[in-house]
Amino acid sequence: MRSRVVLAVLLLPLLAGKRAKGPPPTFLEDGPVVSANPLYPVTAGDQRLHALVYDPVFRPKRSGGGWTSDVLEAWSTGDDGRLEVLFKKGISWHDGEDADAADLCATLSALADEQTSAPLARLARRAPASCQVDAEEPRRAWVTLPVREPEPWRHLAIPLLPAHLVGGAVAYSDLSEPVGTGPYRAVRRDYGWWLEDARAAHRPAPVPVLERAWAPLAA
């Protein structure tokens, strides 16, 4: 009898593995999605979707203070006060296009445009930043802020937007298809957004959030 119990305990994980085809989809608990545009979040569900699909250029460190980035290989401040950033190699948008410094400059241009009415843009225009891509290295850009400050990277705590999908700053308000570089790819279904694991070369560490999820649209 005891041997049968031991055998059952040993076989149970194997049998369970045969039946299981992956974890069931998780419903985002933050609420339905109203806006898939990261510049125009309306609900907590929107913010959750944006955080999973888009990478910020910079984000606060989880501990110890300061800033870090999932898309940049290096960053520094020059003697002239300009910020120099170098994107990691191999970063791509969820539609397969390469992501580089031109996307950062296009994002800053969109936020600086008066016709972009997003709250994030109005905040960015208080300290508008200019951006220039290195002509010889498309992964490098220089960003200039109007004033020098001890924590300039906080001005780049913004979602990186896909420049190749829009024709200018105004078009960012019509960005209804969420295409980012973040850990999850969003696929539109009849009643919401299906989120799939899109972990890429620039993000080797697992993202302990969820493996796949369903973000329902607002009725």
CA distance 154 to 120: 13
Dump pLDDT digits (tens) for 90-148.
Answer: 899 998 999 999 999 999 988 888 888 888 888 888 888 899 999 999 999 999 998 88
pLDDT of residue 25: 52
In order, the DSSP letters of 11-73 are: HHHHHHHHH--SPPPEEPTT--BS---TTS--SHHHHHHHHHH--BSSEE-SSSSSEE-SSEE
**pTM for the predicted model, two decimal places:** 0.79
Q: Say which residues have a Cβ less than 8 Å from residue 170's Cβ, sequence separation at least 6.
A: 113, 115, 116
* Triad 73, 52, 100: Cα angle to 5°: 35
Whole-number pLDDT of residue 23: 47
Question: 1: Cβ–Cβ under 8 A, 6 or more apart, which residues?
Answer: none
Give one DSSP letter per residue of 99-112, joined into a string.
--HHHHHHHHHHHH
Q: What is the pLDDT of residue 102?
A: 95
SS3 call for 9? helix
Q: What average pLDDT does range 160-188 have in this prediction? A: 77
Tokens of 169: 């700053």
Quote the CA–CA distance of 5 and 1 in Å, as a whole number: 7
Q: What percent of the chain has pLDDT over 90?
A: 32
pLDDT score recorded for residue 10: 30
What's the whole-number mean pLDDT along residues 47-67?
89
Number of helices (H), then strands (E), in the chain:
4, 10
